[in-house]
Structure 1
Amino acid sequence: MASFKSRIKKLSSDKSPLILANDYESGVSDMESRTVRNIKTLSPYLCAIKFNFHFLLPLGQKQIAKINKIAHDHHMQTIADIKLNDIGNTNNVTAETLWGMGFDSVIANPIMGPGNLEKLISHAHKNNNGVISLCHMSSPEAQLTYELPVQLKSKKTILYHLFLEWATSLGADGIIVGATFPDIVSFCKKKSKGKLSIYSPGIGTQGGDIQKTIQSGSDYLIVGRTILNSKNPKETAKSLFDLAKN
Structure 2
Amino acid sequence: MSAPGAPAGEPDTRSLARAWPERLRGVVNLVALDSVGSTQSLARRILDHHFSEDETPEPFAVAALEQTAGRGRRGRPWASAPGLGIWVSLALPFEDPGALQSLAPRVAVSLAETANRWVGGGCRLKWPNDLTHEGRKLGGVLIDAISRASGPSWAIVGLGVNHGHGADDLPTLQASSLVHAGGDPPPLPEALGELVAEVWSASGGEADWIERFRALSAHRPGDPLECETASGERVSGRFVGFDDLGHLRIESAEGPRTVTSGEVFG
TM-score category by the smaller chain? under 0.3
Whichever structure has more strand as a proportion of its residues is: 2
Question: Which is bigger in relative contact order (C-alpha 8 A, separation at least 6)?
Answer: 1
User: Could you state the TM-score of these two structures normalised by the residue count of structure 1?
Assistant: 0.27
